[in-house]
Amino acid sequence: MRAGNRAHQGPDRADSAHAEERAWRGAEGRPGRAEPVLRSVAPPGRRRAAYPDGGPWARRGRRDAGRGGFSLMEILVALAVLAIGLSGIFALFGVATTTHRRALNQSNVGLLAARARAEVQARFATGDTSSVKELSFPEFPGFTYDVETQSIPGPLPQFAVKVTVKWPFRGQPTTETFETVMLGAVAKK
């Protein structure tokens, strides 16, 4: 507190500070001998007398201006926590991209196998039941398929059809196999 403000304090403030200290120190002047005086909350006009330092709502001077805010260590810890959180989020982006690519490939494989089966069925209608290797789809670069057919004995011409779709995923060849039974062309009499 600056010296120029002491004239405006009034006698209550100085007297109350000394009375509180005397009550705390006790009659002999030794600390801890008497219980501290508990004061009731002063009405708004008497707050200055109840709180010698101005209380928690008092305006602070220029010398206290540097005490607010965050320390450098608090900021560094906050940045470290933020960096750890962001690295976890960015790792999830990589996993999500890989999972999306895998799901997209599986969806394409199912569509391509159905298309290959339709082509085989069209060939069976013409009487062609041969196996084929390494056919490709122009709309899906990198995807190829093989068709293996095997005759099943019975009263009708039946064939076990195995369609194998191949594609590269993350530099490794990946395959998916679909098997079904199809009827061949029935000769008309």
Residue 123 lies in a domain: yes
Give the number of other CB atoms < 10 A from CB of residue 83: 10
Q: Percent helix, strand, coil in the chain (nearest 5)? A: 45, 20, 35
pLDDT at 186: 57
How far is it, in rounded angstroms, from Cα 52 to Cα 14?
A: 8
Tally of structural domains, the chain: 2
Residue 133 in contact with residue 146, Cβ under 8 Å?
A: yes
The verdict on 101 and 50 lying in the same domain is no
Q: What angle do CA 163, 164, 165 make, to 5 degrees?
A: 115
pLDDT of residue 170: 84
* pLDDT of amino acid 71: 93
Residue 48, domain member (yes or no): yes
Residue 75 lies inside a defined structural domain of this protein? no
* Predicted local distance difference test score (pLDDT) of residue 16: 58
Per-run averaged pLDDT (10 residues), the chain, 189 residues = 50 56 54 53 56 61 64 96 95 92 90 87 82 84 88 85 89 89 67
Residue 68 lies in a domain: no
Give the residue numbers spanning the domain of 147.
97-183
Q: Is residue 176 part of a domain?
A: yes
* 48 and 114 together in one domain: no
pTM, whole model, 2 decimals? Answer: 0.50
Q: What local confidence, expressed as pLDDT, does residue 12 receive?
A: 54
Angle at 29 (CA atoms; ends 27, 34), nearest 5 degrees: 55
Within a domain: 63: no
Strand order of the β-sheet with 132-136 is 132-136, 144-152, 158-169, 172-183
